[in-house]
Amino acid sequence: DVVMTQTPVSLSVSLGGQTSISCRSSQSLVHSDGNTYLYWYLQKPGQSPQLLIYKVSNRFSGVPDRFSGSGSGTDFTLKISRVEPEDLGVYYCYQGTHYPYTFGAGTKLELK
Amino acid sequence: EVQLVESGGGLVQPGRSLKLSCAASGFTFSNYYMAWVRQAPKKGLEWVATISTSGSRTYYPDSVKGRFTISRDNAKSSLYLQMNSLKSEDTATYYCARAQSMVTHRGFAYWGQGTLVTVSS
């Protein structure tokens, strides 16, 4: 199985600040169809996960441009700029390239 | 508006069975792959099953293969998860999720609110 390693486990950030989360996969996430199925989700307290970024760097509908994704192969990053209160929660990376699909363990974003 | 509403969770004894349902609305159900994802209490997310648009193809991780069966009824816009031989480690909130798009089925764009399954004697 592909292991998704997220760092850090937790982050403390000031409102209006900027931060980033790293996600590394144990094998390349480039699919034979040429796509890289690396996604980022945010789970706010008491809520279901919500899609932020799909296929490495594409923002999902309604996601503010404060969120950006980058990376390739096995190394990916989610950047959050101008952090707002509604950004707090647990961020998960996820790979849909290889079966079984797998998630990272999560990164908890808290206010400083 | 896309809506996914799960039901069927509850307390069940180890070794018994339970069937979850997910009612979908706000999109053409038959055009999208669907999936179940679970989350054990205070833990991370685990993909459980995916089903193709017609239901002819299904995919599972080894942790549930042979015990869980995903199915769908496109006429009723409904998704199901039959869970047999339940174990304590199956205790989790189970989310119904819709594929990102009709073309890209490997990620999930919409999630239900989840239904809690507790396996305990």
- Is B47 at the interface with chain A, CB within 8 A? yes
Q: Which residues of A touch B (CB under 8 A)?
A: 1, 31, 35, 37, 39, 41, 43, 48-51, 54-55, 60, 92, 94, 96-97, 99-106
The pLDDT of residue A95 is above 90: yes
What pLDDT, on a 0 to 100 scale, did the predictor assign at position A56?
Answer: 98
Residues of B in contact with A49 (CB under 8 A): 37, 45, 95, 108, 111
CA distance B60 to chain A (A): 7
Whether the CB-CB separation of A10 and A110 falls below 8 Å is answered with yes
* Option in A48, A100, A101 nearest B95 (CB): A48
Is B89 strand, coil or helix? helix
Interface contact A41-B44, CB threshold 8 A: no
A101 → closest Cβ in B47, B109, B110: B47
pLDDT in tens, B60-104: 999 999 999 999 999 999 999 999 999 999 999 999 999 998 888
The number of C-alpha atoms within 13 Å of B84 and in the hemisphere containing its C-beta is 6
Give me the percent of chain A exceeding a pLDDT of 90.
Answer: 98
Q: How many residues are there in chain B?
A: 121
A106 contact residues in B (CB cutoff 8 A): 44-45
d(C-alpha B21, C-alpha B5), whole Å:
8
Q: What is the pLDDT of residues A31-86, one digit of tens each?
A: 999 999 999 999 999 999 999 999 999 999 999 999 999 999 999 999 999 999 99
C-beta neighbour count of B118 within 10 angstroms = 16
For residues A99-111, give the mean pLDDT: 97
**Closest listed residue to residue B47, CA positions, set A85, A22, A100:** A100
A8 preceded by cis ω (within 30°)?
A: yes
Q: Which residues of B fall within a CB distance of 8 Å from A41?
A: 45
User: What separation, in Å, do the N-terminal and C-terminal C-alpha atoms of chain B show?
Assistant: 40
For residue B66, the model assigns a pLDDT of 97
The residue assigned the tokens 């929660």 is: A89
